[in-house]
Chain A
Amino acid sequence: MTEERVSVRFVWIAVAMGVAMAGLLCRLVYLHLGANDRDRKQVTQTRVYRETLAVPRGTITDASGARNILAVNAGVKDVWVDPAPLVASNRVKETAAQLASVLGVDLNGVEARLDKPGRHFAYVARYVPEDRAAAAARLQLPFVHFADGMARSYPQGNLLCHVLGFVNYDGVGAGGVEQYMNAYLKGAPGLLESALDGRRREMFDRRTQEIPPQDGADVVLTIDVNLQFMVERALDTAMERHRARAAWAILQRIRTGEILAMASRPAFDPNNFKAATDDEKLNRAIGDVYEPGSTFKVGVISGALNEGIVKPGDVFDCENGRWLYQNKILRDYHPYSRLDVADILKKSSNIGAAKIAILLGSERLDRYLRGFNIGSRLGLDLPGEESGILPPLSKWSAISSSRIAIGQGVGVTALQMLGIVCAIANDGRVMKPYVVREVVGNNGQTLLRREPQALGRPIRVETAALMRTLLTRVTEDGGTGVKARVDGFRVAGKTGTAQKVVGGHYSETDYMASFVGFLPADNPDIGLIVVVDDPQPLHTGGTVAAPVFGEVAEQAVRYLGILPPPPAVADNNPSYPRTSR
């Protein structure tokens, strides 16, 4: 080979390599500077590290000084398995048995999920509490894995379940305070943006964005856990004793409208909300509209007294328990010949109350009832509050006044009924009820603070005072509510025994027993309503609901440190001049 040929070859190789290098250079320049944003973006994206910083939901606490925790976020584990190698190693039965026993899940279900040879992922259990997950981890089972998670926990179990509500699997409040205050409770998740190195690790000095998460705010309720427990225990006892279908109660601070306890039975465990039926989830205290029966006489008689149409001593003919009006018969539970207004309330005469309502007239009756917020929501800070049913005046029939006077043809919630009685206790002022006292941000700053708010004053101070005296007589000897008495206190209230409408007719066997009242009668502090749905065999408000009222009220005054009035006031029992009507 000549020296010239070698040199030519060298030149060709050099040219070829030069061309190749130039090509690569062009490609490199094109990739970096050319119009290929999409490719460049893809490359950049593979190196971007983006993490959403989850925030724990705020806690919900009660009103007591101890700030008892009612709802809190807690770490949980999702337990999952890689079924393919598990099946290959022939350990499905053994693993399933051990996991089912430790995690407290159904063995057959676990076995079925694990016995999938073609799959590499199967949940065994989700939202497992840390202690159980730790016990499962100690077994050191092969192909079993644990993933961190967060779940809402309700340490008090089913206590206050209807007020608290629950949080669904998407972390959104789906009932009660959890739903109503979701915007405050949920907080704002943070964001972290950074770059990854070749080994897919975050390069800390390349953090381009770091938005710190804002923890959810804490919600403080007006409800006291201990009072709530007293109320719920009393309801449970009543449900069992009277074989009732349902029962509910509300305890309210009269001067402010704060709800101190609100309970409904049947109840559910919000930790396991999926297992609860719609019936169990219903907060009957605000979501069940019922015919109030005789408790409604309170609103009617206070209206008539406020208008000056009747006086406590005015006597009405109660027709010996059977009165034909507009071709319809109205009956009394016990027959009475003549009763004054005070005794109509004390003995709960339907005929007497109907005659008072007729005297008052439809328009004024409608005005007073609407003044007491019947037919409209009181604006409680919970979802699901019903407005009740009060037909428009134009749709009233000739007998409507006489039937509405005894709590028929009208629908109320327990909250509305309690509102009427609390207004009487509060010098005629209707207060807006509320369950959320304040919302506190994670830095201790108060974001929301509720103050007592008056909604209106349908009756005068003097009328309210008079009604307080008349209602006190209901729990005295000869009244229908003697079983609501509390030792050392004068209790004002009213019993209600309403026939339920079954198949379009008033039932002779299904009743709604209720008692609504307040104490101390002379200087009211707390109001309480108890409603028992379909109690058997006893069914009157005086025998079913009044004892529950007495039991709860007795403990509540002790717990709240409410003192009985001085004896001079307690013995006060006025009499009224009697006038025939």
Chain B
Amino acid sequence: MAKRNRKKTQAGFMFPVPVVGFVALLAGVGLMHLCMQSRAEALGREIKTLEARRDQLKERMQQVQLAWARMQSPGNIERALKEHGLVMTWPGRDQIVRVRPDGTAESGAAERRNGERLARVDRVVMND
């Protein structure tokens, strides 16, 4: 039996190039998947935080709206007026400026005519 020429035989096992390419591709896709997964997770966490913040702000807005509505309720205003010893009257004729939709004020003649009509009902006390 003839002796094998070790110098002419290849040393070790060589992976076929397509297999290596396929494995590399798989590894790449896997890595990308992991990367995207963690990115999605991070985004999800951020969304959740923002959602919570939005709900918080919504609730805060409602609280402020409620407080504002309480403050400007007629009953509260009247209480405040009484507290400070203030008495309000309806505005007099010369204190009212009626503005038309085009932005101009009523003519002098109309003002005078209305004035005569309003003269008898001027300055009614609102909260005596």
Residues of A within 8 A of B (CB): 56, 59, 66, 68-70, 72-75, 130, 153, 155-157, 159, 202-205, 207, 225-226, 229, 486-489, 554-555, 557-558, 563-567
Q: What A residues does B78 contact at CB under 8 A?
A: 229
Shortest distance from the beta carbon of A54 to any chain B beta carbon, whole Å: 10
Say yes or no: B44 contacts A155, CB within 8 Å. no
Say yes or no: B62 contacts A72, CB within 8 Å. yes
Q: What A residues does B120 contact at CB under 8 A?
A: 487-488, 564
Query: In the bound complex, what is the Cα–Cα distance between A59 and B120 (angstroms)?
Result: 41
- Among A70, A75, A558, A564, point to the contact of B117 (Cβ < 8 A): A564
Query: In the bound complex, what is the Cα–Cα distance between A205 and B34 (angstroms)?
Result: 12
Q: What A residues does B72 contact at CB under 8 A?
A: 66, 68
Shortest distance from the beta carbon of A444 to any chain B beta carbon, whole Å: 17
Say yes or no: B73 contacts A156, CB within 8 Å. yes
Q: What A residues does B59 contact at CB under 8 A?
A: 74-75
- Among B43, B65, B113, B118, point to the contact of A72 (Cβ < 8 A): B65
Say yes or no: A555 contacts B44, CB within 8 Å. no
Query: In the bound complex, what is the Cα–Cα distance between A566 and B118 (angstroms)?
Result: 10
Shortest distance from the beta carbon of B64 to any chain A beta carbon, whole Å: 10
Say yes or no: A159 contacts B58, CB within 8 Å. no
Say yes or no: B45 contacts A204, CB within 8 Å. yes
Please list 14 pairs of residues, one from A and one from B, whose beta carbons are closer than 8 Å in the complex, sorted by A's number: A72-B69, A74-B63, A156-B70, A202-B44, A202-B48, A204-B48, A205-B41, A486-B121, A554-B121, A558-B90, A563-B114, A563-B117, A564-B121, A566-B117
Interface of A is mostly: mixed
Query: In the bound complex, what is the Cα–Cα distance between A486 and B63 (angstroms)?
Result: 42
- Among B40, B44, B66, B73, point to the contact of A153 (Cβ < 8 A): B66
Say yes or no: A69 contacts B124, CB within 8 Å. no
**Of all chain A residues, which has the CB nearest B40?**
A205
Say yes or no: B74 contacts A159, CB within 8 Å. yes
**12 more CB-based (< 8 A) A-B contacts, given A159-B73, A229-B75:** A68-B72, A69-B69, A74-B59, A74-B62, A157-B73, A204-B40, A204-B47, A487-B120, A488-B117, A488-B118, A558-B124, A566-B117
Query: In the bound complex, what is the Cα–Cα distance between A157 and B70 (angstroms)?
Result: 8
- Within B86-128, the residues touching A (CB, 8 Å) are 90, 113-114, 116-118, 120-121, 124, 126
Shortest distance from the beta carbon of A196 to any chain B beta carbon, whole Å: 13
Say yes or no: B58 contacts A56, CB within 8 Å. yes
A-B complex: 7 closest residue pairs judged by Cβ atoms: A204-B44, A155-B69, A229-B74, A69-B69, A488-B120, A155-B70, A205-B40
Shortest distance from the beta carbon of B65 to any chain A beta carbon, whole Å: 6
Query: In the bound complex, what is the Cα–Cα distance between A74 and B120 (angstroms)?
Result: 46
Shortest distance from the beta carbon of A520 to any chain B beta carbon, whole Å: 10
Q: What B residues does A229 contact at CB under 8 A?
A: 74-75, 78
Shortest distance from the beta carbon of A539 to any chain B beta carbon, whole Å: 26
Query: In the bound complex, what is the Cα–Cα distance between A66 and B74 (angstroms)?
Result: 13
Q: What A residues does B62 contact at CB under 8 A?
A: 56, 72-75
Say yes or no: B73 contacts A155, CB within 8 Å. yes
Say yes or no: B124 contacts A157, CB within 8 Å. no
Q: What B residues does A153 contact at CB under 8 A?
A: 66
Known contacts A205-B37, A487-B120, A563-B118: A74-B75 contact under CB 8 Å: no
